[in-house]
Structure 1
């Protein structure tokens, strides 16, 4: 459990629920979280809700706004019950609790199921100009950040990824991916940039619910599809997509939207996938964890599919 979740005071939480939900908690269903404290509660009026507590940033309110719009459009996500309301120095939001569901769709249909769910999300999402600004993007998706150095600052601010040299192949992969993404331009759309299997639940091959709406961001469709294609899983929530899995996702996404990805779109999707996994690999290396998000050989193969290095004549 994260220190943030563990430190939430039950009395303050109960008071917040009364003020913003009109009911006291009578049972804690679960408590978890990483960047946020995520607490499932049963209230005296028998509602089951999830309260999320995190740092107060303009992004939080904007993400709740997008989630509400998606729920109203019929997309399978928890219904927001509040906006971003003060909780001490942080803010908290509440949403309906959606329990159950399988971690993965059936193995043979995983790429198609994940891709169709993502295509529907992109199709139903409001235009970026219709909602409040969502900047800055989460660090693992912030290839176009304006900070100094190659890598953006992680959300927890505990480390400076640019202060530690190497591994050289990770830095090279991130730089190549960033430059390839910068070389293309297309219309910005709204999408989910953390399409991990752990954030989705399934009823057979049908999508039951998508969680983690704090991961909404604005980018090109190609980049957002690339993040999703590199992060989803076909076998386990602990394993990311293989090169072949990513290829199948990109094919299925084109079919789901009714138009195949063009050559430039596809290459930029591969580059975006390299960026997000290289970022995670760099973080793992800097904090002394095993590097599991990307291997040197896989980075080389994914970069090959992203097209020529724009830095080379």
Structure 2
């Protein structure tokens, strides 16, 4: 019997009879149909204490009525790694209608922030995912990626990325709003829609704790209105931030807006630095867009 089959039998009470899909980026993700008829997703990744905390937040969000897959297990050993299981939620559209996308993505994010437990109510979610770890200790600017051991601070070239990343980080280190639990990877590929209604949000390993303005800034810079592989334009980020304020019932203050813009610059600059280090085309951020976003960050 395979390790997957043994794990399912032990933790789900039923062995798999069919593999529905298999994929993976930072985790190995396997869709399975079990002998008892259930369809589940098993995720395998390196062991880390924050995984159990992410599952607990996901469980509480599901119980509160948020559209996320229902967790079926906690974090359980899987050989040298750790695995979790959740209900398989198939289907859905990648995007809502383009003219409604900023409001749809922003309203979904505001609902998540509203329903998520407070940081003190759940186990620690530290450390943040690398693309959200703007305030790492030490003198370095860029955290190590989960995908590579390359020291991004030591990679030469494209110095403009380091400059905009440093300016965004320094802006974020001044002020700050209340700490909340939120999703740090609000990419279109992690959400599915039924017309304009949110069907499901995936990738709950991307949960972290940060200021509401920072997490909103990440989301506003990462979502897309046109295609899964695209990122928000300056105008789309502006519309998301306005829609988020309407959805939470209180417009973002001038300071919150500036920090949100700075957060978006930092996470996009981090991705740009990683693309440069990997020898790939830099698509996450351009110099002109960075300047405009930093201008809005004050």
TM-score interval (norm. to shorter) = over 0.9
- Find the counterpart in structure 2 of residue 278 from structure 1: 269
Does the alignment pair 1:258 with 2:249?
Answer: yes
Greater shift, 46-55 or 149-158, is seen at: 149-158
2:138, 2:65 → 1: CA distance? 37
Q: Is residue 2:239 matched to residue 1:248?
A: yes
Cα contact 2:177–2:256 (8 A) shared by 1: no
Q: Which residue of 2 aligns with 1:297?
A: 288
Partner of 1:110: 101
Please, what TM-score do these two structures have when normalized by structure 1? 0.94
Inter-partner Cα distance in structure 2 for 1:191 and 1:78: 16
Q: Mind listing any 5+ residue stretches in structure 1 that lack a counterpart?
A: 1-9, 308-313
Q: Match of 1:186? A: 177
Aligned counterpart for 1:204 among listed residues 195, 198, 210: 195
Contact 2:6–2:15 under 8 Å retained in 1: yes
CA distance in structure 2 between the aligned counterparts of 1:148 and 1:96, rounded to whole angstroms: 42
The equivalences for 1:69-218 within 5 A come to 69-218=60-209
Runs of 4+ with deviation above 2 angstroms = none
What CA RMSD, in Å, does the superposition of the two structures yield over aligned residues? 0.8
Unpaired runs of at least 5, structure 2? none
Separation of aligned partners in 1, 2:150 and 2:18:
37
**Equivalence for 2:279:** 288
Per the TM alignment, residue 186 of structure 1 is displaced from its structure 2 partner at its CA by: 2.2
Match of 1:28 among 5, 14, 19: 19
TM-score of the pair, normalised by structure 2: 0.99
For structure 1, which segment, 288-297 or 162-171, has the greater mean C-alpha deviation from structure 2 after superposition?
Answer: 162-171
Shift of 1:147: 4.3
Q: Provide the rounded CA distance (Å) in 2 between the counterparts of 1:189 and 1:300.
A: 28
